[in-house]
Chains A and B, each alone.
Chain A
Amino acid sequence: MAQTARTEATRTALGPTLARLCREGLDIVCVDADLGYSTSAVKFGQEFPERFFPVGVAEQNMVGVSAGLAACGKIAFCSSFAVFAPGHCFDQLRMAVGQPRTNVKLVASHGGVVTGEDGASAEALEDLALMLSIPTFSVVFPADVVEADQAIEAAARTEGPFYIRTLRPKTPVIYDDSGYRFELGRWDRLRKGSDVTLIACGELVTSALDAAEMLAGEGVQARVLNASSLRPIDRETLLAAARETGAIVTAEDHFVHGGLGGIVAETLAEERPVPMAFVGMRDRYGTSGTWDELLEYFSLTPPAIADTARGVLARK
């Protein structure tokens, strides 16, 4: 893992990746709810206008139209901000996509407090919980733009419902030139360690790596896992981490209830309980600020993750 200086927003992967896949012959269509420039979906539309269907600001219709297209054999992508989809259209995702397993892929950008200046209403903190509550959805939260591109390709090439969460700000690229290949259901081990495991998703993967570096200075060897695949999870890698390190910290830009912390705790509670702690949002909504200010304000930082790890180590 070579951490580079490059930063890029994961949301920029959508349009170019769909266009590339369509050029390669995949029968892709894209339904858009008036945020195509922000989600980058419009870049697909510019190249394939006959396959790009705007529906205006109407997320319920967006999902329903996508399901109809999928029922006719199309690989139907749709996109919006995560507060609007799944926020506005949970029942449509449940009834028209989740239950009949139509081949619909929702790629929602602007997840988490890192959405920034727009404030609480724009910062999705429940989207992963909503999508994880529909059992037929694969749910992916890529750590950087390289993984986002690969996750979108995996969604296009895998039959069935997908939810992919992308982000607004430019975040560090960790997989440049790494030869990394995203696999659904596999968590990448970015750092070895046997004292504690830091499991993170999205932009907090970088923060977990930085936290591990801080802990190493104190002689604590922290393992770091990129839990980009939230359903299916990488059960084997998770259980091995619990067995081999005996302490777990999760970190996510989302409410800890129903997100990464929730699914890790559910799995370990049944199969291998170990001391755990959760870094994430709890009991309150976001606010306005720059994205890095907000991470600081809500304690979603490397020092906070390291601190949480020290706490959990004390309970080992």
Chain B
Amino acid sequence: MARAQTVSIDELKSIAKRIRRHIVEMTANANSGHPGGSLSSVEIATALYFRVMRHDPQNPLWPDRDRFIVSKGHATPMVYSTMAEAGYFPVEDLMTFRKLGGKLQGHTVMQKPPGVEMSAGALGMGLSFSLGHALAGRLDGRDYHVFCLLSDGDCQEGQTWEAAMASAHHRAENLIAMVDRNHIQNDGFSDYQRFPAGNGSRPQRPGGWVLKDGHTANIMNLEPLEDKWKAFGWSTQHIDGHDLEAIIDALEQAKAHTGGPSVVICETIKGKGVSFMENNPDFHGKAPSPEQLKQALKELAD
């Protein structure tokens, strides 16, 4: 048992801000990477590593640890920054991100560095892997929880729904999925939902369509997402994914849930915290320029 569970919300907010600064700095330094979907999931990761999860940075393979399994393997800036802040490795290592000879590859590699649970980068694989951890825990009589972070894109991969079906079938009550629902993916908006039609920085893609309420389903409409999870046999919650208290509450509720798996759909803003990155599909997989970095750090100052 390694984590003090008493970090205050104010402290968590300041940790989240530091993580955001790392994210923009390390992607700028690498001149590549995925800042948008990293910034959208900062509060989720902060809540997990500094409040909710039982883990030990000094003993990353501790068999009884709670697992944070990141299916959206491109969100390495968020993963590595949070782990560095939590004490898994020195913060200076973040500047080796995506560099030859560095310890931090562009997409996650299992146990490199120790504590990274899964090799990912092809979407859709994380929930299956998480279910394997959950079943092993039950078989071994261990009481850990498995937290799996999914993206919008993950929810478009068929394998995620294979795993969703199997998780409910096996009544994996120690499995908790979180969807970082930022509505943006590689080529643009998945579905606008919260965005009026035409609010994107890119023209609407061929193949999209306008919903009855005037919103636009663009690359692939995921709604009604919560109903989909329910139909697959999951207990669901739907929260503001930047509200630390709401995240902690939801995850604690999910941990207490018995009889089957739980999902928390976290409504988030891609690029959260940096004005010109927010809701901007361009920063899914593009680093800030040196000038943009300066601006971002100004906005993220304490």
Binding site for B on A (CB under 8 A): 29, 50-51, 53-56, 58, 60-61, 63-74, 76, 91-92, 95-96, 99-100, 102
Tell me whether B165 and A72 are in contact (CB under 8 A): no
Interface residue? B119 (CB, 8 A)? yes
**With a CB–CB cut-off of 8 A, which chain A residues contact B136?**
29, 68-69, 71-74
What is the distance, in angstroms, from B99's C-beta to the closest C-beta of chain A?
20
Top-8 shortest CB links A-B = A68-B132, A64-B128, A72-B136, A100-B110, A61-B162, A58-B162, A60-B159, A68-B129
Tell me whether A65 and B120 are in contact (CB under 8 A): no
**With a CB–CB cut-off of 8 A, which chain A residues contact B119?**
95-96, 99-100
Interface residue? B163 (CB, 8 A)? yes
Q: Which of A58, A64, A76, A96 has the most CB of B within 10 A?
A: A64
**With a CB–CB cut-off of 8 A, which chain B residues contact A91?**
122, 125
Judged by DSSP, the binding face of A is helix
* Bound Cα distance from A54 to B131, whole angstroms: 12
Tell me whether B162 and A60 are in contact (CB under 8 A): yes
What is the distance, in angstroms, from B282's C-beta to the closest C-beta of chain A?
27
* Bound Cα distance from A97 to B141, whole angstroms: 25
**With a CB–CB cut-off of 8 A, which chain A residues contact B124?**
60
**With a CB–CB cut-off of 8 A, which chain A residues contact B127?**
64
* Bound Cα distance from A92 to B135, whole angstroms: 19
* Bound Cα distance from A100 to B112, whole angstroms: 10
What is the distance, in angstroms, from B111's C-beta to the closest C-beta of chain A?
7
Which of A64, A69, A74, A99 lies in contact with B159, CB distance below 8 A?
A: A64
Which of A55, A73, A100 lies in contact with B162, CB distance below 8 A?
A: A55
Tell me whether A61 and B137 are in contact (CB under 8 A): no
**With a CB–CB cut-off of 8 A, which chain B residues contact A29?**
135-136, 139
Which of A51, A71, A100 lies in contact with B132, CB distance below 8 A?
A: A71
**With a CB–CB cut-off of 8 A, which chain B residues contact A65?**
128-129, 131-132, 135, 163, 166
Whether A72 touches B128, Cβ cut-off 8 Å, given contacts A58-B165, A58-B166, is: no
What is the distance, in angstroms, from B265's C-beta to the closest C-beta of chain A?
21
User: Closest residue to B124 on the A side, CB-wise?
Assistant: A60
**With a CB–CB cut-off of 8 A, which chain B residues contact A70?**
132
Tell me whether A72 and B129 are in contact (CB under 8 A): no
Interface residue? B259 (CB, 8 A)? no
What is the distance, in angstroms, from A18's C-beta to the closest C-beta of chain B?
15
Enumerate B139-194 residues with CB–CB distance to A below 8 Å: 139-140, 158-159, 162-163, 165-166, 169-170
Which of B121, B122, B133, B140 lies in contact with A71, CB distance below 8 A?
A: B133
Whether A100 touches B129, Cβ cut-off 8 Å, given contacts A56-B165, A58-B166, is: no
